[in-house]
């Protein structure tokens, strides 16, 4: 293993981990302290940090603009191929064929139409997502009481919240992304009680998973596509599945949030 040491005894790994924010606050302070006596290396870390920020701003418009129709269609084929595309057919024949016609025929404009089978589901889901981000902002800064029941009593936590929400809940495992469960709490909601699970990584960053019943307007559209929201105090991804809303919120870049939301989705 290559552990090239720099003048200050910082390994290559530590140097990059410091730049990329992959260390805990305590470790970062310690490393930063060691850098103080090596101004050249400290300058390098600073330069690499700015470089990282500049890179993260590159081609941001590609994240925000709609995906061109041919790519969307190719993506649809992958999902269909895997054969687990149940919600597509659950919309019912007419709605599905309308959506298919749009995706196949919309060649001139790359814009996906806002009106469509999902439109009726959008407003309650969006409001749910917004409430998730507000709840995140309220509890995230808490040092002593971030949660009501801690991860030490995870079984009890899950049992309790499942009972109150009226549906068996599961806590996703986010340790592959570096996040551990802190605990959870019960919150009020429009269509019944809601649950908030909080996760934290080594650097102290926190994300929350917000779960609860959503009563959509249109009975047929009980599933919402994976959506990104930037309206609230923090960004997040949200989706609706069989009458329940799920929202993953945190003050993280989109790619990191997507990785976490994807992992949560796949397990819930």
In the complex with other proteins, which residue's Cβ is closer, 54 or 143? 54
102 contacts 116 by C-beta, under 8 angstroms: yes
* Residue 101 is a binding residue for other proteins (CB under 8 A): no
* Residue 239 is a binding residue for other proteins (CB under 8 A): yes
In the complex with other proteins, which residue's Cβ is closer, 196 or 224? 224
201 contacts 99 by C-beta, under 8 angstroms: no
Q: Shortest distance, CB of residue 199 to other proteins, whole angstroms?
A: 16
116 contacts 98 by C-beta, under 8 angstroms: yes
Among 24, 51, 159, 175, binds other proteins (CB under 8 A): 51
In the complex with other proteins, which residue's Cβ is closer, 147 or 169? 169
Q: Shortest distance, CB of residue 243 to other proteins, whole angstroms?
A: 16
In the complex with other proteins, which residue's Cβ is closer, 150 or 262? 262
* Residue 225 is a binding residue for other proteins (CB under 8 A): yes
DSSP 5-35: B-TTS-BHHHHHHHHTT-S-HHHHHHHHHHH
* Residue 90 is a binding residue for other proteins (CB under 8 A): no
Helix 39-56 / helix 12-19 crossing angle, nearest 10 deg: 50
Binding mask 151-180 for other proteins (x = CB under 8 A): -------------------------x-x--
Q: Where are the alpha helices (DSSP H) in 20-153?
A: 25-35, 39-56, 61-64, 69-82, 86-90, 93-105, 119-139
Separation CA 233–CA 230 (nearest Å): 8
Closest CA to 209 of 200, 221, 222: 200
Name the residues that contact other proteins, by CB under 8 A.
Answer: 1-2, 4, 12-13, 15-17, 19-20, 22, 47-48, 51-52, 54-60, 62-65, 67-68, 70-72, 74-82, 84-85, 87-88, 176, 178, 223-226, 228, 237, 239, 252-256, 258-259, 262-263, 265-267
């Amino acid at each position: 293993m290559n552990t090239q040491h720099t003048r200050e005894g910082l390994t290559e790994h530590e140097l990059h981990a410091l730049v990329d924010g992959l260390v805990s606050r305590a470790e970062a302070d310690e490393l930063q302290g060691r850098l103080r006596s090596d101004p050249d290396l400290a300058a390098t870390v600073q330069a690499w940090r700015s470089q990282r920020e500049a890179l993260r701003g590159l081609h941001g418009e590609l994240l925000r603009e709609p995906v061109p129709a041919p790519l969307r269609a190719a993506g649809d084929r992958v999902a269909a191929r895997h054969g687990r595309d149940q919600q597509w057919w659950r919309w019912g024949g007419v709605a599905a064929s309308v959506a298919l016609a749009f995706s196949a025929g919309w060649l001139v404009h790359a814009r996906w139409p806002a009106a469509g089978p999902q439109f009726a589901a959008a407003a309650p889901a969006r409001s749910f997502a917004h409430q998730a981000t507000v709840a995140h902002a309220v509890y995230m800064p808490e040092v002593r009481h971030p949660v009501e029941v801690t991860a030490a009593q995870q079984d009890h936590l899950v049992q309790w919240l499942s009972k109150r929400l009226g549906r068996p809940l599961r806590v996703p495992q986010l340790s592959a992304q570096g996040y551990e469960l802190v605990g959870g709490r019960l919150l009020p909601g429009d269509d019944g009680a809601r649950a908030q699970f909080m996760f934290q990584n080594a650097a102290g960053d926190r994300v929350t998973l917000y779960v609860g019943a959503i009563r959509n307007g249109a009975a047929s559209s009980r599933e919402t596509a994976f959506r990104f929201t930037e309206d609230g105090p923090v960004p997040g991804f949200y989706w609706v599945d069989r009458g329940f809303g799920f929202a993953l919120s945190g003050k993280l870049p989109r790619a990191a949030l997507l990785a976490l939301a994807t992992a949560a989705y796949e397990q819930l």
